[in-house]
Amino acid sequence: MKYLIAGLGNIGDEYANTRHNIGFIIADALAADLGIKFTTDRLAYRAEGKIKNKQVVIIKPTTYMNLSGKAYKYWLTVEKIEVANSLVIVDDLDLDPGVLRLKTKGSGGSHNGLNNIIEMLGNNEFPRLRVGIGSDFARGYQVDYVLGRFSKNEEKLFMERIPVAVEMIKSYILSGATNAMNSFNNK
């Protein structure tokens, strides 16, 4: 059985270690945990490895956040992976910093990456790991906030939460969405 894990973010040094790139950061942590490296491939940085007997393809789309659906759909098709065996990792303004929430479907809200995936698939029924980044910004400054770097306190918090996210993804792959949600959501 094969799984596609898509960590969403933006390419380029100016976006590295920003709140909006938490999907890339967690994808990197998962790849490191599996001892695999990313290579540049079509529409994404791509790494491939195994978790026990499950084959895992990890991508970080190079399409920029707003066109994430193009890379996600392309790699689902090329790798012949069912949507139910995929997981999109994405930042979420509606969750407090560090909160991890796995869902099997849902709206894209104000997240352009999720909305592009919904547009490309024609539905909102794909698993996603929402990673809370909070919403501590003044009205009209959302873009500056999501593209901003973590504060020292946030950095410390995420250093503790990223390994939990990796374990959550591995649980999702090995024991399914329901078990992973019951074990990790709201914890």
> In this structure, is residue 187 part of a structural domain?
no
Encode pLDDT of 117-154 as tens digits: 999 999 999 999 999 999 888 888 889 999 999 999 99
CA atoms of 94 and 51, how far apart (whole Å) = 31
> In this structure, is residue 113 part of a structural domain?
yes
> In this structure, is residue 186 part of a structural domain?
no
Note down the domain range covering 34.
2-181
Q: Provide the b/e sequence for 60-97 (b: ≥16 CB within 10 Å).
A: bbbbbbebbbbbbbbbbeebebebebbbbbbbbbebeb
CA dihedral sign, ordered 58, 62, 68, 74: negative
Can 20 be counted among the known catalytic residues? yes
Cβ pair 113, 121 in contact under 8 A? no
> In this structure, is residue 114 part of a structural domain?
yes
pTM for the whole structure: 0.95
> In this structure, is residue 26 part of a structural domain?
yes
Q: Which of 6, 7, 19, 20 is catalytic?
A: 20
> In this structure, is residue 124 part of a structural domain?
yes
Encode pLDDT of 37-60 as tens digits: 999 999 999 999 999 999 999 999
Domain count within the chain? 1
The model's confidence at residue 95, banded by pLDDT at 50, 70 and 90, is very high
Q: What is the CATH number of the domain that holds 118?
A: 3.40.50.1470
Phi, psi of 21 (to 5 degrees): -100, 15
| Those residues with Cβ within 8 angstroms of residue 46's Cβ, 6 or more apart along the chain or in another chain | 38, 39, 40, 57, 58, 59, 75
> In this structure, is residue 135 part of a structural domain?
yes
- Length of the chain, please? 187
> In this structure, is residue 27 part of a structural domain?
yes
